[in-house]
Amino acid sequence: MSEYQEESRADSGSRSLFDLVIGALIFLFTVGVFGSVLNDAYFARDKDKTGVRRIFAHRWNDRTLVFPIEGTDRQGRRAVFDVVVLTKNYGWVRGSTTELEKDDTILSPQEIQDEVLAPQLRQGLGTALGLIAVGLASQEGDVAREEQRGGLRAVRTAQWVRGAVGDRIPMWTLNLGRYIDPCADCEDIDTSWQRPFIVIAVRSVDQGTHISEALADAMSGTSNLPAPARYSTFAFTKYQR
């Protein structure tokens, strides 16, 4: 073999390796961009010119709606959540901090286990990195009294959920207090935000994320989920019981 042939083969091999590396880099860049586009499409679809998003829910069963949301804390660290809410025919009994109702009929403890904490809800919440039990009260009544009621409802929700999924998943409570500025666009045939049963699942979180800040950000800027500003408080507390 001549020196020219050897050099040509070596040069060809170098070019092949170079082309392979460049091709791999282009592929990784394309995948990264495509993944980012898919993520934006998933969490910000139906975004209008003002940046307001409409969050599309999916169902775990015929009475459980799940709204996927994403937000960042003040340092830009990201967290992804599922807001899990029962359909509007389920909710807290007016004035109660211990009882739920369906179509104005109080649910028995067994019905809460079977209908509210149904297998699909237990399974869905059981895969979360963290759980947030939410308590809130409707727009009627004194603000201080309704904030107290919201706090007790959050604790009761945490007790029910912990009993259903166990204590291996970290849990917080979130008291939103009184619903002081109702969101007409958030009410629809399936959902009401007056006295709903709500649990929020933490799905992914960047290292060191301030979860309450990321959650408040995620709940803001949507057209069909009430923003924290529509409630009288945003009291986020670690649940220890």
Is the residue at 53 inside a domain? no
Beta strands at 90-92 and 100-102: parallel, antiparallel or unpaired: antiparallel
> Which of 44, 48, 55 has the alpha carbon at shortest distance from 84?
55
Domain encompassing residue 21: 1-44
> Which of 45, 46, 57 has the alpha carbon at shortest distance from 190?
57
pTM of the full structure: 0.77
Residues 115 and 9 in one domain: no
Q: Which residues of 171-183 are buried (b: 16+ CB within 10 A; e: fewer)?
A: bbbbbbbbbeeee
- pLDDT score at 149: 94
Is the residue at 168 inside a domain? yes
- pLDDT score at 30: 42
Residues 213 and 166 in one domain: yes
Is the residue at 133 inside a domain? yes
Domain total of the chain: 2
Residues 8 and 103 in one domain: no
- pLDDT score at 193: 73
- Please write the tens of the pLDDT for every residue from 164-203: 999 999 999 999 998 887 776 666 665 667 788 999 999 9
Cα Rg of the chain, angstroms: 24
Residues 23 and 67 in one domain: no
39-50 mean pLDDT: 44
CATH of the domain at 221: 3.30.1330
- pLDDT score at 20: 54
Q: How far apart are CA 100 and CA 117, in angstroms?
A: 12
With a cut of 50, say whether residue 49 has pLDDT above it. Answer: no
Is the residue at 52 inside a domain? no
Helices (H), the chain: 3-44, 109-111, 119-126, 143-165, 211-219
Residues 10 and 78 in one domain: no
Is the residue at 126 inside a domain? yes
Assigned token pair, 92: 């807290």
Q: CB atoms < 10 A from the CB of 199, how many?
A: 28
First to last CA, the chain: 81
Query: Chain-centre distance of CA 76, in angstroms?
Result: 17
Is the residue at 73 inside a domain? yes
Residues 16 and 94 in one domain: no
With a cut of 50, say whether residue 138 has pLDDT above it. Answer: yes
Assigned token pair, 75: 């340092």
Residues 76 and 22 in one domain: no
Is the residue at 50 inside a domain? no
Residues 16 and 39 in one domain: yes
Q: CB atoms < 10 A from the CB of 100, how many?
A: 24
Residues 205 and 115 in one domain: yes
Residues 211 and 93 in one domain: yes
Is the residue at 142 inside a domain? yes
Residues 40 and 62 in one domain: no
